[in-house]
């Protein structure tokens, strides 16, 4: 054990702006609410600055005008983690929330990847579509 967390330095919250469609690609959560000083972000991918256990969470709304099925997963680099949301579309206004506990080394990259058409359901920092995480302690 040991080693507490510093959410200001090792945490992030990003929001989805507008409508996004992905096909086996990383979701770019365009609005930054918070990006810790030990992290960096590029095109929806967070680069970890401090090794440790990270709790990663995300929530998405299916775009109501699209009939495609959807799936999203948490990734550490190219490796899929637990924390999948998936549903067969049979009604409008479906939403899903996923999370994962991820063991990260410094310089690891965390992102949400999958397929489907999504909307933030709101705008800017008030959007209901989010990608968030923070370090909860040492490994």
Q: Would the pTM count as exceeding 0.75?
A: yes
User: Mean pLDDT for each consecutive 10-residue tract of the chain (139 residues)?
Assistant: 70 88 91 94 96 93 72 93 71 77 97 87 79 92
Pairing of strands 11-15, 31-35: antiparallel
Write down the pLDDT at residue 116: 84
Q: Which residues contact 44 (CB under 8 A, 6 or more apart)?
A: 14, 26, 27, 28, 29, 111, 112, 131
Number of Cβ within a 10 Å radius of residue 102: 22
Write down the pLDDT at residue 32: 92
Write down the pLDDT at residue 1: 46
Write down the pLDDT at residue 67: 63
């Amino acid at each position: 054990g040991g080693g507490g967390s510093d959410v200001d330095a090792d945490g992030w919250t990003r929001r989805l702006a507008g409508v996004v469609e992905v096909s086996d690609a990383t979701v770019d959560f365009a609005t930054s609410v918070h990006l810790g000083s030990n992290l960096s972000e590029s095109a929806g991918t967070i680069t970890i600055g401090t090794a440790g256990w990270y709790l990663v969470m995300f929530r998405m709304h299916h775009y109501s005008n699209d009939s495609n099925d959807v799936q999203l997963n948490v990734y550490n680099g190219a490796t899929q983690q637990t924390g999948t949301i998936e549903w067969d579309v049979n009604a409008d206004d479906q939403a899903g929330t996923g999370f994962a506990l991820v063991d990260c080394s410094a310089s690891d990259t965390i992102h949400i990847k999958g397929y489907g058409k999504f909307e933030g359901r709101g705008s800017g920092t008030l959007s209901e579509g989010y990608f968030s995480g923070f370090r909860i302690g040492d490994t």
